[in-house]
Structure 1
């Protein structure tokens, strides 16, 4: 995960003025990306010459994060060109599970895993980013569950949709399953132009695997995309899965 620094209350130029120096230290460059709540800029540390990414939040308090600059861009950019080879998809999925396991072991739950939030460094390694919707164990309610409705529609777990509380560990695993399907198929397992129709497919777990999926992969996806979170595959089970462990 990329390290981040937070500075609240600093005077930050508006988007049209985001050029020149920030805090007299960072030379601001081009926009790398933007979302609903923030914009990310490429910047350079004037003292060290190091490239960084600066995330500017759309808040009155002018909060921003200085983060590691990951040169390879988003995993989404690779998937947008078409499905990946199985060995490449497996490598990326292995790294994703490793990162998610690391977070969960420390009481951090992402809740918005998707290819747009997975970055590629210059060595081809994956880095999970954008923890804007993440939660920590201290946020769990007395019933042991989270109740905030969040996530990206195509990747959201069915138990989130019913709004009765959910285990964020199991929600992240569902999203990992959707990501794996997308890497291997090049399209979503649950898709419809109508959002409500798509949610119904997610709730029912209705998806079809393409002909090139192996039986081992289908079995893993079936466990990951089990609509019953209580019997959804666990991280240790994923790590010991035959398809997951397969070497080229």
Structure 2
């Protein structure tokens, strides 16, 4: 039997993904617990922009604690490689699920509720994801819980400012981010834009996809797609509305989220108060409590880590 390759205390089980400058492996620790490990090679050859994205992703994933966001566990490093150990989510991604089957309305709504609550939490913590898409949403094996992943294009707003001030005076971003079908018009127009408002647009696209298994804006070429998106004329098949597959409450919230003028789009705090969400209020209340519980646990862990760090500093002084 071939001995498994080890990285620190982790044994590599198999490769599960590959990106532009990183590979992802399923690994196990000495107790047999499974994790995902992102291996970033040749860090000495990465551009300043790539390094910035990696540092931001690490900081964001270490900061956030939410039941619908992939959690970072450990960071390991060598001279030329960086290893990010994360929770392993074994149910594939949302796009794969939608390619296989049409979801019942209740499941689409619950996935949307989970996404909206996670994005509300990100935005309250002054973070814009900037690449919300079905491929970046991982699923539990029973397909009841989703996890937002890939914060490589995320942005943290003015870290030296008070978060409450950021909500009224957010820094406008200039970097063009996002995936073609999900990208907001203001990003395509290469204007300064609010990353959090762009997140609202992308999540509106996601809800349309959840309900209809196709994108609201499509075209034969990338150039034509940009034109269609910038017009913002979103249409719904009347037959799907008539048969109840797409409720009018969903049409309303999607149209609000896909407003061409980003200033007129709702916030996620407003979106979770929409009629579409309230139609499954029992689930919304239940999942909101799960989110609060996870966040409180995260705060306790951070306080404990701070106390341990303070104790170490006190020992150094002595």
CA contact (8 A) 2:158 2:171 kept: no
Which structure has greater helix proportion?
A: 2
Match of 1:33, SS? strand
Match of 1:224 in 2: 257
1:57 aligns with 2:40: yes
Aligned residues: 228
Instruction: Give distance in 2, aligned partners of 1:129 and 1:223.
Output: 25
Return 5+ residue gaps in structure 1 as ranges. Answer: 1-18
Q: CA 1:68–1:143 in 2, change beyond 3 Å: closer, same or farther?
A: closer
Q: Give the root-mean-square deviation of aligned CA atoms.
A: 2.0
Q: Does 1:201 align with 2:228?
A: yes
Contact 2:122 2:128 in 1 (8 A): yes
Aligned residue in 2 for 1:243: 276
Q: Which residue of the other structure, out of 73, 96, 105, is the alignment partner of 2:124?
A: 105
1:171 pairs with one of 198, 203, 212: 198
Shift of 1:152: 0.7
Q: TM (normalized to structure 2)? A: 0.68
Summarize deviations over 1:26-85 as a string: whole Å, max 9, x none.
Answer: 11122222222322111111x221100001124433222100011212111111124321
Deviations 1:171-225 (A, max 9, x none): 0000100000001000111112300100111111123212312222111110011
Q: Secondary structure at the match of 1:36?
A: coil
Residues 176-187 of structure 1 mapped to structure 2, 5 A cutoff? 176-187=203-214
CA contact (8 A) 2:157 2:171 kept: no
Maintained 8 Å contact 1:41/1:54: yes
Q: Which has the larger radius of gyration?
A: 2
Query: In the alignment, what sits opposite 1:134?
Result: 154
Cα displacement string for residues 90-125 of structure 1 (whole angstroms, at most 9, x for unaligned residues):
000000001111111111110000111111124521
Would the aligned equivalents of 1:118 and 1:129 in 2 still touch at CA under 8 Å? yes
Scaled by the length of structure 1, what TM-score is found?
0.86
Matched with 1:12 is none
Q: Is the 8 A contact 2:234 2:255 kept in 1?
A: no
Structure 2 CA distance, aligned partners of 1:110 and 1:36?
18
